[in-house]
Amino acid sequence: MKACVIGGGLAGSEAAYQLAKRGVSVTLYEMRPVVATPVHRGGGLAELVCSNSLKSVDVNTAQGTLKEEMRLLDSLTLRAAYIARVPAGNALAVDRERFSAEIEKALDATGMVTVVREEVTRIPDDAIVATGPLTSEKLAVEIEKVCGGQRLYFYDAAAPIVTGASIDRGKVFFAARYGKGDADYLNCPMTKEEYLAFREALVAARRVILKDFEKGELFENCMPVEEMARRGADALRFGPLRPVGIRGADGEKYHAVVQLRKEDDYDGLYNLVGFQTNLVFPEQERVFRMIPGLENAEFVRYGVMHRNTFLHSPGFLNADFSVRGRERLFFAGQITGVEGYLESAASGLIAGINLYERLTGGSTHVLPETTMCGSLQKYVSEYRGDFQPMHVSFALTPPQENRIKDKALRKKAYSERALSDLTKYIENIKGVSI
Ligand SMILES: Cc1cc2nc3c(=O)[nH]c(=O)nc-3n(C[C@H](O)[C@H](O)[C@H](O)COP(=O)(O)OP(=O)(O)OC[C@H]3O[C@@H](n4cnc5c(N)ncnc54)[C@H](O)[C@@H]3O)c2cc1C
């Protein structure tokens, strides 16, 4: 049995391992160091392009739960991370060189993986495409042919997303502009003083320094909210924060209104409309928590504006990560619309297992939607809102039947449900045992 994996990043390396350990002979194509990307530094497999942190190990967080799920599913990425771990408190941070070396060593040890250093420009079947946010241009052209155009995005300009449970409902209200249509937006009203203080903080906040390749490309159609604020005291009030047509319950008018749009069916996630931003993440928390109602907002995704090649996967990918109508071809990693090192690796893990199933005539796996992995599968294949690459979050899973008020206990319950459901499911997956 043979398969090929295109892209030796987080997702591709994990996918190659999952195939190899199940007896599939894998050709893993990685274009570096022959062809460089704008951010990778060397030629190592599974290179971490930015932070060396794989986030929290606390099992009662979504990130910690994902780690535990990946451990149960025998993830190479997670094993290599623990071998290469460096002290970082509750976070799993790694020595990036050692991490990459451990991945290469483990793939080599399978005796089933041949690494070919070349840029792939054609897409075969029996393959997993895991070429990441910096997919080479030639391959992107081919991917567009497979997905029929209009589905491949080249940069990500996304507003932050907060959990519905963390919004102070006493300060915000549902209303449609001019009372027309469904009242789908939650409105955060601002007085003049609140607005001016907010604008001042926004203008002064620390921003990400864009890389040269990102300048120009990103600003053509989309202006960061802080840049708009810089254009004048009222620019935001005439832009995304315009209050016209929005009245309170007693008909009161406001100086400015921030609108939050539902991101899912569960009332679990809300998007800050028009807030695509280049502020660094801690500054997003500090400044956006000045918005009335968001004082204790829990951010499941920060706003970003960077080069990022990703598919509009819903309607194109099945939940098992295969292409609809071309089921021997899979995608994995950030290109599918998951976001983050471990989320990318997790999708590679599932795509690897599923390509093996397809090669052997078995049934592919969609993990329970209560699990972090399963919720990502559901997200990329079914999401109906504004599709943007997404981290794992408990808010992506169905709500608990009985809502638990205490936040810590609620998170614990989400985590326990995920791990219990995965443990029950795992006996269906060949090559994994508890
Ligand atoms: C600038 C930037 C910073 C980021 N920082 C973080 C962070 O700090 N923390 C975090 O959790 N996530 C971060 N991410 C998001 C994401 O987690 C990483 O990009 C992650 O590496 C994605 O994994 P992947 O396997 O999908 O892609 P990658 O790890 O990028 O792997 C894709 C591989 O495919 C190769 N490739 C591309 N085209 C071809 C081709 N045609 N033929 C052969 N090989 C090809 C590339 O060289 C690369 O090695 C960042 C993303 C970007 C763009």
Q: What is the pLDDT of residues 39-74, one digit of tens each?
A: 788 999 999 987 889 999 999 999 999 999 999 999
Q: What is the mean pLDDT of residues 86-106?
A: 93
Q: Which atom of ligand 1 has the smallest separation from the CA of 46?
A: 29
CATH 3.50.50.60 maps onto the chain at 2-157+309-428
pTM of the model: 0.83
Q: How far is the CA of 114 from the centre of ligand 1 (A)?
A: 20
Q: How far is the CA of 175 from the centre of ligand 1 (A)?
A: 40
Residue 7 to residue 391: CA distance in whole angstroms = 21
CB 292 within 8 A of CB 257: no
Q: Comparing 54 with 401, which gets the higher pLDDT?
A: 54
Q: How far is the CA of 134 from the centre of ligand 1 (A)?
A: 6
Q: What is the mean pLDDT of residues 301-321?
A: 91
Residue 313 to residue 383: CA distance in whole angstroms = 9
DSSP category for residue 211: P
Pick the CATH number of 161-302 from 3.40.640.10, 2.40.50.100, 3.20.20.80, 2.40.30.260: 2.40.30.260
- Superfamily (CATH H level) for 2-157+309-428: FAD/NAD(P)-binding domain (3.50.50.60)
Q: Comparing 296 with 184, which gets the higher pLDDT?
A: 296
How many residues appear in the chain?
434
Q: Which atom of ligand 1 has the smallest separation from the CA of 342?
A: 11
With CA atoms as reference, report the closest residue to 426 among 49, 183, 73, 42: 73
Residue 293 to residue 304: CA distance in whole angstroms = 22
CB 205 within 8 A of CB 282: no
CB 239 within 8 A of CB 274: yes
Determine the angle formed by the axes of helices 10-21 and 341-359, rounding to 10 degrees.
30
Q: Give pLDDT, residue 265.
A: 66
**Among 29, 31, 34, which residue has the most ligand 1 atoms within 8 Å of its CB, making it the best to mutate?**
31
Residue 264 to residue 419: CA distance in whole angstroms = 23
CATH 2.40.30.260 maps onto the chain at 161-302
Alpha helices by DSSP H, 156-292? 192-204, 225-230, 281-288
Give 22's contacts (C-beta < 8 A, 6+ positions apart): 353, 356, 430, 431
CB 2 within 8 A of CB 126: yes
Q: What is the mean pLDDT of residues 349-363?
A: 97
Give 98's contacts (C-beta < 8 A, 6+ positions apart): 83, 84
Q: What is the mean pLDDT of residues 316-327?
A: 97
Residues with CB under 6 A from ligand 1: 6-12, 29-32, 37, 39-40, 49-51, 119-120, 130-136, 139, 306, 308, 333-335, 339-341, 344
Average pLDDT across the chain, whole number = 92
